[in-house]
Structures are given as C-alpha cells and as structure tokens.
Amino acid sequence: MRLAIGLAIAVAVASAGAPASAAPSTVPQVVQTRNALDFLGSAAVSWQNQFGCSGCHKQSMTIASIGLARMRGHDDAKPGVLETLIDGMLTLNSGQQADGCFTLINNGAESTEATTFGGRGLEGYSRAFGAGKDSSLLAAANCLRSRQQADGSLLSDHTEQPVAEGNFITTAHGVYTWMRAFDVSGNPAYSSASSGAVIWLRGQIASIEGSSSSFTTQDKATLLAGLGQSGAGPTDPDVVRMRNVLAADQLSDGSWKIDSTTSGGNGYGTGLAVFALRAAGYDRSDSVLDRGTHWLLDNQQSDGSWAASFWVGATPSKIAPSMWATLALATYPSPLNGVRVDGGASATISWTAVDGASSYDVIRGDLGALAELSDRVDLGTVTCLAPATASLSTSDGAVPAPGQGFFYLMRIRWATSHDIYGRSSGGHDRIPASSDCAP
C-alpha cells in the first residue's frame, strides 16, 4: 500500500516561523500565512493567560482565523491553542453568560458588541471544527436576535477605537452568526434575522458614497464582508459599489488607513479591506485586491505580525494590529493540498506548484514507523526521493512488503531556506528521525 499524506493531515507547510534574517517578501505566501497564524495564536494565549478574561476580539478573531485557515487547507494551530482560546472565550468571567450573551469586562453588563465578537468566533469554530460548540453558537444567535433593531441593525454599545466602533461591524458579525445558526439548526428565525441585517447594510451604501471620509475602513469593509457572507458576489451591484469605495480609499502603496484622520496605512486597515474583498468573491485578478495582498506580504514582520503604525486609539494589544491581516491571508487556499501518487510498480508522485517556492524535497517513509510524540511527529528513517527538485513530480520504483505501506511528503524550498513536512491534526511538526534530504 502506498499513501500520499495530504495537507489536511500535514504535507509541506510553514515552519514555526521564518528565519529572523529572512525578508518577508522572499518567503512564500503560504509560509507567511502560517507565520501569521502562529503569531496570532501565541499572542492571544499569552494575553488570556495574563489577564484571565474573555477579550472580546482577542480570542474570537483568532479562532475565526484558525478556523478559516483550516477550511482553506492550511495546517492546524499548534497544540492547545484552539482549546485554550475557545474555553477562555466561553467560560472566563467576561465570557458567555447563561442567557447566551457575552460581557465586556469581568462581572460587567452584557454587551451587544461583545456578543457579536463571540458569535463570530463561534461561527468560525462551528464551520471548521464541527458541532461541539453549536449550543453556544445558538445561544449567542438568540441573544443577538433579542437585540436586533427593527431596521435590521445591531447597535454598538461600546467604543474602543479602532476595534469596537460603529454599527457596521456589529451588524456584519450578526450576519455571520445568524447564517451559521441557520445552517446548523434550520430555524428560519435566524435566516430572517440575517436577511434583515443585510437589508440594513445595503441601505447604508448611499450614505458612505456621499461622505466617504465620515466612515472608517472598518465600516466599509465589514459592510462588504457582510454582503459577501450573505452570498452576494462581484456581479451584485452593491458589492461593486463597495468595492469601488474601497478602491478609491486605497493608498498609492497598496495599503489602507484605519480612517481618514491618519497619514498612512497599516495591517489593520489593509487586512480589513483585503478580507472584505475576498469575502465578496474577488481574486487577485482584481488589481485593488492584488495590490493590497502584496502590501500585506511585503510588510509582515519576521515574527509573523504587522506593526501598529498609524494607529488610532489607545496602545493596542499584540493581537489587534495583526488580526485582520491574518484573517485576510487565511482566505487564500493553501497550495499544499496533498501529494498525489499514481501508478503501480513504479509510482509517480506529483504535487501542485507553490508560488514563491524555488524547489521541492520529496521523501518516502514507512507507515509503521510513524509515532506521535509529546513535541513532534517522528517520521522515522525516511528516504529522500527528490532533493531540491524544480520539477513537480518524481518517481519511485520501491514496493512495500505485504501488509506494509509507504507515505510520501513534500516540502518547499525558497532562497536559502526550506519548510518542514507539515503538522499533524494535533498541531505537531512532522520531523524525520534520519536520512532527510540535505538541508
């Protein structure tokens, strides 16, 4: 038996982080995405451990990023990250209450703003990781239904620039929460709530077009993202209108400001715009999206984050400046979708080209030698079939003995660096014990 281990289990993905000496622009996008996710997960866990409460956007947007990345074929987060964050978001003092609503601070009043963020995290968890928290999702959806205005909106009840401000992000998060609640329950009340929210969002476009500088990038981007989540795409006239609004705001370097009061763009504003365009169905054939994506890749720091430059409001946590940029990169499918094996006695192993990779390593291993340890997956002694090949395929004439099986893994190389052979579903790096392709 031969086996090609696909990315969902772990083929070539990002290592724990690109070498500090590597310029971000030289690293393949799929690796930069992994670095961003690793940074965000680590920063959110550290924040939760320090403050011991549910942090509104800290856990929820990190969970949403991890979930979306998984759905797009990227590796799972490192061990314990997801479990720690979902537990903290739901159970710590300012987490979800018995009636499904969330609070903003320990023992504080229940908040629409906090509940929309909590619902967004639960939506991402439900789509990517299954029904384990769906009762919490439905409870949050019910809380938000009880707070929805007659015009369909969800009113913000907390201002903390730039993360919490205005009714656009709350209403758009409501769309995400209610649509997933309908998916898992079939209850038409959730579909009705979502439809009402979308009607409200569409109704705000003329005001934005008439006075664009009065609205933040978050207002505009979350409006567009809400439309995209509802199923509207690039042929929808309102989507086109909002795409053009964002295009008019884009700076010459490809970035977006947080709002009109600042003098430059950053990962927060740019991540919002890129995420919204992707949510609405645009790809990099759109020049606005392509330039924004290039800016994110070129301005990522070596630890996977984005700087809090041109910030608005109080000094942010490490999470806020990078969370939308991470979510934006996670919208792109991983090209590491799995090694394919075809043929009989002499097998052909092939894979998809990875943008930014200069060459590829391919190894063969014995399924019986695989061992998941506390800190890694031990691949055992492997055979290097194709060291640093520029080709997209290689062959293997070896045949496993009866009752035994082979696995094949690929990793990418770029410049003077190389990736690892991926992670297990538990988040452990896959590492050969010996006979790996030369570093």
What's 113's domain CATH number? Answer: 1.50.10.20
Other CB atoms within a 10 A radius of the CB of residue 193 amount to 25
Tell me the C-alpha distance between 322 and 62, whole Å. Answer: 10
* pLDDT for res 439: 87
The string of DSSP letters for 202-242 reads: HHTHHHHHH-GGGS-HHHHHHHHHHHHHTT--TTSHHHHHH
* pLDDT for res 94: 87
Is 316 in the same domain as 418?
no
Domain ends where: 296, 330, 364? Answer: 330
Predicted TM-score (pTM) of the model is 0.93
The string of DSSP letters for 379-401 reads: --B-EEEEEEE-SSEEEE---PP
User: What average pLDDT does the structure give for the chain?
Assistant: 92
The total of structural domains in the chain comes to 2
For 22-45, b/e burial (b = at least 16 CB within 10 A) is: bebeebbbbbbbbbbbbbbbbbbb
Is 177 in the same domain as 59?
yes
In a domain, 335, yes or no: no
β partners of residue 384:
363
> Looking at the predicted structure, is the pLDDT value of residue 106 above 60?
yes
Is 374 in the same domain as 281?
no
Q: How confident is the model at residue 16 (pLDDT cuts 50, 70, 90)?
A: very low
Q: How confident is the model at residue 24 (pLDDT cuts 50, 70, 90)?
A: very low
Q: How confident is the model at residue 112 (pLDDT cuts 50, 70, 90)?
A: very high
* pLDDT for res 156: 96
Is 298 in the same domain as 344?
no
> Looking at the predicted structure, is the pLDDT value of residue 164 above 50?
yes
Numbers of helices and strands, H then E, in the chain: 13, 13
* pLDDT for res 434: 97
Is 142 in the same domain as 50?
yes
Tell me the C-alpha distance between 328 and 398, whole Å. Answer: 42
* pLDDT for res 107: 66
Tell me the C-alpha distance between 240 and 199, whole Å. Answer: 16
In a domain, 324, yes or no: yes
Between the two ends of the chain, the Cα-to-Cα distance in Å is 29
* pLDDT for res 26: 83
